[in-house]
């Protein structure tokens, strides 16, 4: 299940790099603020070749981010990561999340092309 959120880009954190078992990696985090009645700030991360797509946007741009939620356990504590896989200019709407009905996997989609999705009636 892929989620989407729309908000204003308010901060881009420095890229982080390293070397792991699978080779070199790069990660960049960014923060968006929703336009809801009670705006929320949400920190998300981009990995690998997706990082370069963030440079197309400047602070205060309103963007729509498609992402997956991933959690992992370490020493009996759980950590959650919001991993963005597509960023596009927003065409309007609220900052609320919605589920995409797309059946294709995120890795099969072009990371920064426009894609259509349908909103459902989730209360969050």
Task: Say if CB 47 and CB 26 are below 8 A apart.
Answer: yes
Q: How many domains does one find in the chain?
A: 1
Closest CA to 68 of 100, 95, 40: 100
For residue 76, give the CATH number of its domain: 2.40.50.140
Does residue 110 belong to any structural domain of this protein? no
Does residue 120 belong to any structural domain of this protein? no
Pairing state of beta strands 23-33 and 16-20?
antiparallel
Could you tell me the pTM of the whole model?
0.70
Q: Which domain holds residue 42?
A: 3-93
Does residue 107 belong to any structural domain of this protein? no
Pairing state of beta strands 23-33 and 98-99?
unpaired
Task: Say if CB 8 and CB 33 are below 8 A apart.
Answer: yes
Does residue 23 belong to any structural domain of this protein? yes
Does residue 81 belong to any structural domain of this protein? yes
Render each residue's pLDDT in the chain as its tens digit; 124 residues.
679 999 999 999 999 999 989 899 999 999 999 999 999 999 999 999 999 989 999 999 999 999 999 999 999 999 999 999 999 998 765 444 444 444 444 433 334 443 334 444 445 4
Does residue 101 belong to any structural domain of this protein? no
């Amino acid at each position: 299940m892929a989620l989407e959120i729309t908000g204003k880009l308010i901060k881009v954190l420095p890229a982080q790099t390293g070397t792991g078992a699978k080779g070199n990696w790069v990660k960049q985090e960014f923060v968006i603020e929703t336009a809801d009645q009670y705006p929320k700030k949400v920190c998300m991360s981009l990995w690998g070749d997706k990082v370069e797509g963030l440079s197309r946007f400047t602070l205060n741009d309103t963007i729509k981010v498609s992402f997956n939620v991933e959690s992992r356990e370490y020493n009996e504590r759980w950590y959650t990561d919001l991993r963005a896989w597509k960023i596009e200019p927003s065409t309007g709407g609220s900052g609320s999340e919605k589920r995409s009905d797309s059946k294709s996997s995120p890795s099969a989609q072009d990371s920064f092309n426009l894609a259509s999705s349908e909103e459902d009636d989730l209360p969050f």
